[in-house]
Amino acid sequence: MEKENLNPKESLQIIQEMIQAEKLRFSENGFIYRFWGWLVSIAALAHFILLQLEMYDYHYYPWFLTIFGGIFTGFYYGRKKEKTSLPVSGKILSYTWITISFFIFGIAFFFPVRAGDLLLFIILSHIAVGTIVAGAIFKFKTLLIGGFICGAMAFVSLVVPREYGSLITIVAVVAADLIPGYQMKRMYNKENKI
Amino acid sequence: MYNDLNPILHSQLRLAIISLLVKNKAMEFTEIRAATNATAGNLSVQIKKLEAAEYITVLKSFKNNYPLTTLKLTQKGLLAFEEYVNELKKYLEP
């Protein structure tokens, strides 16, 4: 590979980009991971209970909670963005999650019948990709492992009866969102001496 | 206007340690030693100075019955490094 010669200004630019990426990591308190972890777990549990109660007309209603979750996340990051300009890694992560959300909400709310038995696989595999990218950017092993577990759950969803899909979803978000989210909070509090 | 550069970071080896830790989340003492080509004694002294300034945290543990020293950058260290780079930039772009 050809070695690129950088002038001091370019070198400093790269260093500053690295600093901004590290600042992004230090500023992450895991709130949004905990928020989605609890939101999806509650929706999935309610879905499961409604199915067990044979309320087939309403069983998917709890998932509408995620629309409010999406709106809240948009406001949360919109507010945060005003305070700090995102480094390249932050922009990659932001666009990755926006694209993933677009596909997840699109398939879940507009084409669930066409997706059929693959619906949960599509949703969980997308979440797994986002979580693994986030884990790589934050250099956070728990998030990486959570992403892989979520990906594994996507495949598990293909082989277990559909009514247990909600329970698989709970396992996936506990691994990909709740555990990393609480660990991030602990690390953030420790770093900021809260 | 030129400000004084942070004396803690304005040392070749200490700056190298911080730069390595900005790039890598955590590094072992031996990895830093290999990357900087410093002697163990000198490296230990500089690490202690960075730790005293709360720019890094040093975690001592064991790996396969051998002592393992792991270094991590703190938020204070990162902000100090950012300030140092910004000041240095002023010197390069008068």
Three-state DSSP state, B54:
coil
Q: What is the largest CA-CA distance in chain B?
A: 53
Q: Which residues pair with B60 in a beta bridge?
A: B69
Q: Compute CA A144 distance to the chain's CA centroid, rounded to the nearest angstrom.
A: 11
Q: How many CA atoms lie within 13 A of A1 on its CB side?
A: 3
Question: Could you tell me which of A110, A41, A28 has the C-alpha nearest to residue A69?
Answer: A41
Distance CA B47, CA B43 (A): 6
B12-86: CATH topology is: Arc Repressor Mutant, subunit A (1.10.10)
Residue B76 and residue B61 in contact, taking contact as beta carbons nearer than 8 Å: no
pLDDT of chain A, 194 residues: tens digit per residue: 445 566 777 778 888 888 888 888 888 889 999 999 999 999 999 999 999 998 888 888 999 999 999 999 988 888 776 555 677 888 899 999 999 999 999 999 999 999 989 999 999 999 999 999 999 988 899 999 999 999 999 999 999 998 899 999 999 999 999 999 999 999 888 877 76
Q: Quick check: B19 and A139 CB within 8 A?
A: no
Q: Quick check: B75 and A15 CB within 8 A?
A: no
ipTM over 0.95: no
Q: Compute CA B90 distance to the chain's CA centroid, rounded to the nearest angstrom.
A: 22
User: By the CB < 8 Å criterion, does B11 face chain A?
Assistant: no
Three-state DSSP state, A159:
helix
Question: Could you tell me which of A167, A179, A162, A158 has the C-alpha nearest to residue A44?
Answer: A167
Distance CA B88, CA B81 (A): 10
Which residues of chain A neighbour B75 with C-beta distances below 8 Å? 26, 191-192
Spell out the domain ranges in chain B.
12-86
